Amino acid sequence: MKKILYVAPVLLFFFWGCSHSTAPTAPDYGYFPIELVSKWHFATTDNVNRLIATFVWENAGQVQLNNKTYFKILRYNSTPDSSTQTFYFRKDGNILYERTDTLGEHIVVDFSLGLNSKAYWDTSFTVVQKDDSLITFSTQFGADYGNSVTYKKNVGMVSEVSNGFILWQTKLVNTEWLHPGN
């Protein structure tokens, strides 16, 4: 009888542990998974929802600039004879940097900021939404000004709203992955 009292808890622990295995969780690549995405396809509409433009951000691989590794992003319209713009992005933890010839390296966004935090690299932006899947940075909006950008975890930028003379809305339409199945 004593033997059963000692063996029963061990067997119970063993069988309980085997029957309650946890499923593997997907890796978290943050709000701008540049290392996973081949192309982001966007569409821009105006204030009456007319399609103004479609464009693509294409990941053209990695390059070394000033001893740092950047992802080379090509931006081009989805129309024939469109010009191509080149951008260089890199991530360092939660911070996304861009490098340009005119500005050098500068912060685009710091995803570690909490809700209602001011962006220290541009104090006109505040984090107005943040949860497990989305983060939105926004300025104040008025009759002819305002800007808002939303990023989705493991996807990237999903929308941008710019209010000038006309309100423009850019939304992510499709994402092509470097590794199918993501």
* Per-residue pLDDT reduced to its tens digit, 119-146: 999 999 999 999 999 999 999 988 788 9
CB 106 within 8 A of CB 88: no
Statement: residue 20 has pLDDT above 80: no
Q: Where are the domains of the chain?
A: 29-177
- What gap in Å lies between CA 55 and CA 42, rounded to an integer? 5
Instruction: Give 57-70 pLDDT, tens digit per residue.
Output: 999 999 999 999 99
Residues sharing a CB contact under 8 Å with residue 86, sequence separation 6 or more, in sequence order: 60, 72, 73, 74, 75
φ, ψ of residue 13 in degrees (nearest 5):
-60, -45
Q: Give the right CATH number for 29-177 from 3.40.50.300, 3.30.70.60, 2.40.360.20, 3.10.450.50.
A: 2.40.360.20
70: helix, coil or strand?
A: strand
Strand 156-163 relative to strand 147-152: parallel, antiparallel, unpaired?
antiparallel
Q: How confident is the model at residue 13 (pLDDT cuts 50, 70, 90)?
A: very low
